[in-house]
Amino acid sequence: MKILVFAHRLEVGGTQVNAIELAAELRDAHGHDPVLFATPGPMVELAVAKGLRFLPAPEPSWNPSWSRMRALREAVRREQPDLVHAWDWPQCLDAYYGVHLTRAVPLLVTVMSMAVPRLVPRAVLTTFGTPELVDQARAAGRNRLGLLLPPVDVHHNAPDAANGGDFRARHGLGPDDTVLVTVSRLVEHLKLEGLRRTVRAMAVLGREMPRLRFVIVGDGTARQSLERLAEQTNAALGRRAVVLTGALVDPRPAYAAADVVVGMGGSSLRALAFAKPTIVVGERGFVSAFTDETADQFRYQGMYGLGDGDEGDHRLTAELRRIVGAPERFAELGAVSRDFVVRHYSLESVTRQLDDLCREAAADRPALRVRAADGVRTAAVRVAGGAVPQALRARISRLARLTPRT
């Protein structure tokens, strides 16, 4: 089967890695012919390394984007795929209105965010990354659903897969330092709360543990504000306790260098694959270490959580103190972590799930009236959700008048 994988802009991020690794594994293990269509960015390097053909997409200013839909239609005309696999709602809208509604090209949508977006058309087979989100989507009236866990290449991400010593030396981390690492996009949405809380916790723990260091690997729009907070913390402690390295296309040396990892989502899953004790920091004050006791909770809700709204630093500080202050437990926690990821999230097992979902989506050919009605409903939600360009409003109104009545 030929699959056009319509991914995010290829900045450094976990979902981009997921899209690329799954496409390559679909080719290698299941004989499919994937081609990657996305806005260029640093992760093109990974796609090329995986041997994927890459088709550049324009940068959108709005979704659905006329320029991306035109480019997508041209790519579909040339490639003649059996299926378009769109990652998350912006790509879904472009694919839906660009080639699914108008040309009946089969469509599969994968959502890896931690919420059920209302914008995804209901008649399209849609996957979510946790059992909890699948249950929420079903409760919201969706029935074309699948579970696609975020995959981890457990061979590429393993305790002996990278040299942590070189990473430590490069960033001035001593062999006797206790190194806390986070690998994350430095952006306001989802990420910034936990990053700021961890830096503030270092202002307290750094006094109690003079060999404790916190390394932030990543880049993004929130970097400058984090750098200012890190500088304030370092000045208060009188040492370089918080280190920002910038983004790494291959962050495995950072995981290998860590004693403990703090984070969420795919980054925390890769930390587990490296057999690292891991503390999950979510939103609204959520914090919990990954242990035998919390494994089932994280399996259901994902490596994320919503707290009770108390965004103070005391809970995170206490959890960090409990885990970081007990190095004799690092090996035990690491073994539990590695076993959990290998059993549930390995790239091989997740790709088998995706293979089944691709075949199901490719075989589905909904009637025009179903596609059109779904497109009008989604367009109405999009219009209600914010400012919409006038030209788009006119096209939506015209689409609504032309929609066959059911």
CA distance 106 to 358: 9
Same fold for the pair 2-151+348-402 and 164-345: yes
Report mean pLDDT in 10-residue bins for the chain, 406 residues: 96 91 97 98 95 96 90 97 96 94 94 88 94 95 94 96 96 96 91 93 96 96 96 97 95 97 94 98 93 96 89 90 96 97 97 98 83 77 62 50 43
pLDDT digits (tens, 9 = 90+) for 30-76: 999 999 999 999 999 999 999 999 999 999 888 889 999 999 999 99
End-to-end distance of the chain based on CA atoms, in angstroms?
33
> 126: which strand partners?
109, 145
Task: Write the burial class of residue 333 (CB in 10 Å: 0-12 exposed, 13-18 middle, 19+ buried).
Answer: buried
Pairing of strands 242-246, 83-87: unpaired
CATH of the domain spanning 2-151+348-402: 3.40.50.2000
What pLDDT is attached to residue 126? 96
- Side by side, which strands form the sheet with 212-217? 242-246, 212-217, 178-183, 260-263, 278-281, 287-289
Q: At what angle do helices 192-208 and 223-237 cross, to 10 degrees?
A: 10
Residue corresponding to tokens 């360009």 = 389
**Per-domain residue ranges of the chain:** 2-151+348-402, 164-345
Q: Are 132 and 144 in contact (CB under 8 A)?
A: no
CATH class of residue range 164-345: alpha beta
Scored b (16 or more CB within 10 A) or e, 124-133 reads bbbbbbbebb
pLDDT digits (tens, 9 = 90+) for 344-397: 999 999 999 999 999 999 998 877 777 877 777 777 777 776 545 555 555 545
What pLDDT is attached to residue 399? 46
Pairing of strands 145-147, 242-246: unpaired
Tokens for 226, please give them.
């984090």
Residue corresponding to tokens 């999950």 = 280
CA distance 312 to 316: 8
* Among candidate residues 252, 256, 323, the one with its CA nearest the CA of residue 290: 323
CA atoms within 13 A on the CB side of 265: 21
CA distance 52 to 136: 34
Question: Of how many residues is the chain composed?
Answer: 406
Q: Are 13 and 264 in contact (CB under 8 A)?
A: no
For residue 373, report the phi and psi dihedrals to the nearest 5 degrees.
-60, -40
What pLDDT is attached to residue 381? 78
Chain centroid to CA 392: how far? Answer: 29
